[in-house]
């Protein structure tokens, strides 16, 4: 049996630094990985999430990203890699490749055809059970928004929570009534699972629902503020939590606006990370585009007001 990891806390879904030719910037990725690993309260790092440009990467590139991060961490923290596949056979192939690269856990995204056509509850359970059995790795359930056809019912979430391989729930329901019921269903089925918000765009509201932390792309950018927020929530200090959220809000608004995380939002976050000295380059892969001049100026103004501006806007 492998090491038992505690995934409760904050798990940054890594932004992926790219060079001008769109190749992975290994040096910058190692630097970001090493920096994030210094924060107490970060329980793991995640590669190949939406924030990490998973859909623009080849399978070979996804594996290499995990290999770089795992090598840099050298067992200090667990590495969770996302798996996005269309069927069980492909998902197992990806899972075994990520395991060989050093992943200790897998974030299982719904197959694209579920988003288009929907799925039966047993399809979901069989999918997770097969990946867990074949890989022997800890699994994270990537819970998609309630409005999508890949939204899991409370009953399906409870069934998943009972699988021995499922250790983490990345809950992105984005409909607060169902979000509360989802958390309750998971807790009742498996009180030991790590239940983490992934509502980057409204952190405090989702954290006060009794979750164990967050699995967040935003934590690649501002881990110190998000850790401060979750610690205040867990201490029951609402005043401190609200003050922290107020400092986060301008940064959140310039990245996510009034919407959910998107490719454009991730491009804005990369640009902000460059100005804050946390990445070397804001390069994104087409068809995603870098923010326009007016948006870049707004990002610089927000970072300046927050005392985070280290580089001038390009």
pLDDT at 160 over 90: yes
CA atoms of 27 and 162, how far apart (whole Å): 40
Per-residue pLDDT, averaged over 27-49, amounts to 98
pLDDT at 289 over 60: yes
Mean per-residue pLDDT over the chain, rounded: 96
pLDDT at 121 over 90: yes
* Beta strands at 105-108 and 9-12: parallel, antiparallel or unpaired: unpaired
The H-or-E segment that residue 174 falls in is none
- Give the pLDDT confidence score for residue 258 in this predicted structure: 79
Other CB atoms within 10 A of residue 136 CB: 12
- DSSP readout, 187-251? HHH-TTSEEEE--TTSHHHHHTTT--EEEEGGGGT-HHHHHHHHHHHHTT-HHHHHHHHHHHHHH
pLDDT at 218 over 80: yes
Cβ neighbours of residue 281 under 8 Å, at least 6 residues apart? Answer: 17, 18, 19, 20, 25, 28, 274
Nearest to 216 by CA among 166, 266, 254, 179: 266
Contact 85, 55 (CB under 8 A): no
Per-residue pLDDT, averaged over 138-164, amounts to 97
The H-or-E segment that residue 176 falls in is helix 176-189
- Give the pLDDT confidence score for residue 314 in this predicted structure: 54
Helices 154-161 and 176-189 pack at an angle, to 10 degrees, of 30
Confidence of residue 5 (pLDDT cuts 50, 70, 90): very high
Confidence of residue 2 (pLDDT cuts 50, 70, 90): low
Per-residue pLDDT, averaged over 50-76, amounts to 96
Per-residue pLDDT, averaged over 25-46, amounts to 98
Structural tokens at position 169: 């729930």
241 φ, ψ (degrees, to nearest 5): -65, -40
Alpha carbon separation from 221 to 16, 111, 224 (Å, rounded): 12, 28, 9
C-alpha dihedral (61, 270, 108, 198), degrees to nearest 10:
170
Q: For residue 197, what are the β-bridge partners? A: 171, 214
Reply yes or no: is the peptide bond before residue 66 cis, omega within 30 of 0: no
Query: How much is the pTM?
Result: 0.96
Structural domains in the chain, CATH included, are 9-235 (3.20.20.70)
Q: Which of 61-65, 229-233, 287-291 has the least mean pLDDT?
A: 287-291
The H-or-E segment that residue 56 falls in is none
* pLDDT tens column, 172-199: 999 999 999 999 999 999 999 999 999 9
Alpha carbon separation from 62 to 68, 206, 299 (Å, rounded): 10, 30, 29
Per-residue pLDDT, averaged over 104-130, amounts to 97
Nearest to 214 by CA among 56, 174, 223: 223
Cβ neighbours of residue 242 under 8 Å, at least 6 residues apart? Answer: 204
């Amino acid at each position: 049996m492998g090491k038992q990891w505690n995934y409760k806390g904050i798990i940054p879904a890594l932004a992926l630094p790219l060079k001008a030719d769109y190749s992975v910037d290994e040096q910058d990725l190692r630097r970001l990985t090493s920096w994030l690993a210094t924060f107490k309260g970060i329980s793991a790092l995640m590669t190949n999430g939406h924030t990490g440009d998973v859909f623009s990467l080849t399978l070979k590139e996804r594996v290499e990203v995990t290999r770089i991060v795992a090598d840099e961490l050298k067992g200090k923290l667990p590495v969770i890699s996302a798996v996005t596949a269309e069927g069980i056979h492909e998902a197992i192939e990806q899972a075994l490749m990520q395991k060989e690269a050093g992943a200790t856990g897998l974030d299982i995204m719904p197959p694209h055809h579920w988003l288009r056509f929907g799925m039966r509850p047993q399809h979901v359970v069989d999918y997770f059970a097969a990946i867990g059995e074949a890989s022997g790795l800890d699994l994270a359930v990537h819970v998609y928004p309630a409005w999508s056809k890949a939204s899991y019912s409370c009953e399906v979430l409870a069934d998943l929570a009972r699988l021995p391989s499922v250790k983490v729930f990345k809950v992105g329901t984005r409909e607060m009534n169902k979000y509360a019921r989802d958390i309750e269903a998971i807790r009742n089925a498996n009180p030991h699972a790590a239940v983490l918000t992934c509502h980057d765009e409204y952190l405090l509201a989702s954290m006060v629902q009794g979750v164990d932390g967050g699995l967040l792309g935003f934590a690649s950018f501002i881990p110190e503020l998000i850790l401060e927020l979750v610690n205040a929530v867990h201490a029951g200090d609402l005043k401190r939590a609200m003050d922290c959220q107020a400092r986060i809000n301008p940064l959140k608004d310039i990245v996510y606006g009034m919407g959910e995380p998107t490719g454009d939002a991730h491009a804005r976050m990369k640009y902000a990370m460059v100005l804050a000295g946390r990445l070397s380059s804001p390069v994104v892969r087409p068809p995603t585009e870098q923010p326009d001049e007016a948006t870049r100026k707004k990002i610089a103004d927000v970072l300046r007001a927050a005392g985070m501006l280290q580089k001038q806007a390009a």
